[in-house]
Amino acid sequence: MKGIIPMKSNFIMQPPHPETEWSACTGYSESALPIERILDVSLSDASICKGPDHVYYLTGTIDGSNVQVWTSSDLTSWSGPAIVWSLEQDGTWQKASRRSNRICSPEIHYIKGTFWITYGLKEGGTGLLQSLSASVQGPFRDLGKITDDGQDASLFEDEDGAVYWVYGNGNIARMTEEMTGLAESPRMVQVQPWKVAGREDHPSYSQNVQVGTYGAFLYKQAGYYYMFCADALARMGSDAVDTFVAVSESIYGPYSRRYLALPHGGQISLFTDVNQQLFASFSGCGSYSLVEHYPSIVPMSLVSPGFIRPREDVLLEKGGVGSLKPIADFLIRDPHISTGPDGTYYLTGTSDKPHHNFWDRNNQLHVWSSPDLQEWKHVANVWDLSENGTWENNIYENPCLWAPEMIYLYGTFWITYSLQGGGTGMVKSITGHAEGPYIDMGRMTNTDIDSSLFQDEDGQVYFVWQDGKIAKMKTNMTGFAEDPRKLLCSDGQRVGYEGAFIVKYKGKYILGAAEWNGDTRVDGTYDLMYAVADELYGPYTPRRLAVPHGGHGTMFIDHDGRLMSTFFGNDRTAPFRTLPGIVLLQVEEDEEGLCIVPSSE
């Protein structure tokens, strides 16, 4: 891409699969702590500026009638607010409209020896105030309307002293020397849509090349311009508004692809503290935010050229998943837990063995056991395609074994699995023990992936796979006893696109599967979706989210009768990636059958 220096990590040009920990937006730390409100006042678009006296000044949108400012010397204790400008008393052009207008998104900036306040109007238009006393207390001179459009605005001073008006969805214009207006027409930053096979970001499939929809803020570090904007991506199928960023060597671009910089951040501003730690100030946006509707700060880390994210020692998401910790330190994808006849828990899933790669010749099937879901012991590599494979090696030169699932039936253990590229199979322990040895029961489907077995209360066993396909098994487990069918939700949607399973709980059939929400394998979330039915073949309710970031986990019932789900983390905003986790689920009956959400216990 012309104008962009290749990044040391290649994160900008060729971002790795979102399972990759080093490129995550929210990195994992055992000692991470949740962010908190810095002020117990509900306001939006919180913005902090550090003054020349090392005092911090906070403002944001309250009721739109005035600009209020709080002050702090330590970012912890805040005094105020002081009303530094009133629309009713000081407003001029802002009151020209016949309709009631409101001030929104004020920001404080210290530039050229004094304080400035940028702001927008709810009905559109942006303006600028200048302190005549070099104090944040003012009085402020109204420099009038700067743009007719936009509801938010910001200032950026470059290293050469030029000042730019930044607003809306990423518009930039250089200001006059006197800062009384624009010296040029605004131009909108455009990002580079990004797409490779199986992965596509929002600007690519929407054909919308803006960084975001509002709240533009420009920051420069080590020769790179970072353009931040707020945008709703519907990660986790939620109401979150996130903060995205694109980078460039030139203020006007070309800018890179955009990427998610701060989950639930919305409109942000950046500042450094007295120790030169970089912070983002913001108001929590969306029901998953720990500080929804309240101002907060997050320490940010410049990981590599062009790559910025929250520091690893902070938690940003509320709920049982946001603070989830791994149950073990071995790498795994698509984890599945079941119980043996003696109550022992068994865990299996996609292994990265033997080549430490989930996508290249990972042909081993490993099993772990635990008496309590806490301490896990490796049982064995119970099946190895390079040694035990039959039909699999006739189809693929270097087959990858994916998504094994174990179940105890008819006095022994059975494991279903699939192959990269399509095709599912099953093996059976000939000793009745989890460690085997196992025999190959043959190929179950010619295409598709992610197979599972479900035994109903009448003893009948069903093969479930891919996106909700199902078929009754023969009694001798050698194949299907009926033609396959696909289980759909009552609105015609499939429950998810892969990782389908069925569990019965509280008299209801729960059909689960994984789905990408937001975008596909870039900044979206890989979530566990579910639907509920009274009968195995449906009708199933419209799908709902069970576990955010929990895609291709599977549900199971523990010794105490509680519904749980496995978890491994496969997206940039998951609490961790490719490590085993367990999520306790809260289940309540409602008009759609069962409401299933992560428990906060």
Residues 412-462: pLDDT tens digits? 999 999 999 999 999 999 999 999 999 999 999 999 999 999 999 999 999
Alpha-carbon separation of residue 568 from 336, 355, 526, 549, 586 (angstroms): 10, 19, 10, 8, 19
**203 falls within a domain:** no
Which pLDDT score, from 0 to 100, does residue 28 have? 96
In sequence order, the 6+-apart residues with CB closer than 8 A to the CB of 596 are: 510, 530, 544, 546, 563, 585, 586, 587
Which pLDDT score, from 0 to 100, does residue 8 have? 46
User: Percent of the chain at pLDDT above 70?
Assistant: 98
Structure tokens at 558: 């523990």
**398 falls within a domain:** yes
**120 falls within a domain:** no
Average pLDDT, the chain: 96
Fill in the amino acid letter for 124.
G
Phi-psi domain of 564 (left: phi exceeds 0; alpha: psi -120 through 50; beta: other): beta
In sequence order, the 6+-apart residues with CB closer than 8 A to the CB of 99 are: 123
Residues 254-310: pLDDT tens digits? 999 999 999 999 999 999 999 999 999 999 999 999 999 999 999 999 999 999 999
**503 falls within a domain:** yes
Q: Give the pTM.
A: 0.96
Strand partners, 582: 566
Q: What is the mean pLDDT of residues 499-507?
A: 98
Cα distance between residue 471 and residue 462, in whole Å: 6
Residues 50-65: pLDDT tens digits? 999 999 999 999 999 9
Q: What is the mean pLDDT of residues 383-406?
A: 93
Strand partners, 111: 114
Which pLDDT score, from 0 to 100, does residue 394 have? 87
Kindly write down the DSSP assignment for every residue of 256-288, as one continuous string. ---EEEETT--SEEEEE-TT--EEEEEEB-STT
CATH number assigned to the domain comprising residue 561: 2.115.10.20
Find out whether 598 and 584 touch, Cβ atoms under 8 Å. yes
**350 falls within a domain:** yes
**15 falls within a domain:** no
The 10 Å CB-count burial string (b at 16+, else e) for 318-338 is bbbbbebebbbebbbbbbbbb
Which pLDDT score, from 0 to 100, does residue 10 have? 84
Find out whether 234 and 286 touch, Cβ atoms under 8 Å. no
**344 falls within a domain:** yes
Phi-psi domain of 49 (left: phi exceeds 0; alpha: psi -120 through 50; beta: other): beta
Which pLDDT score, from 0 to 100, does residue 601 have? 79
Phi-psi domain of 7 (left: phi exceeds 0; alpha: psi -120 through 50; beta: other): beta
Overall domain count for the chain: 1
Which pLDDT score, from 0 to 100, does residue 3 have? 43
Residues 308-366: pLDDT tens digits? 999 999 999 999 999 999 999 999 999 999 999 999 999 999 999 999 999 999 999 99
SS3 track for 356-405: CCCCCCCCEEEEEEECCCCCCEEEEEEEEHHHHCCHHHHHCCCCCEEEEE
Which pLDDT score, from 0 to 100, does residue 9 have? 52
Domain that holds residue 587: 333-598
**23 falls within a domain:** no
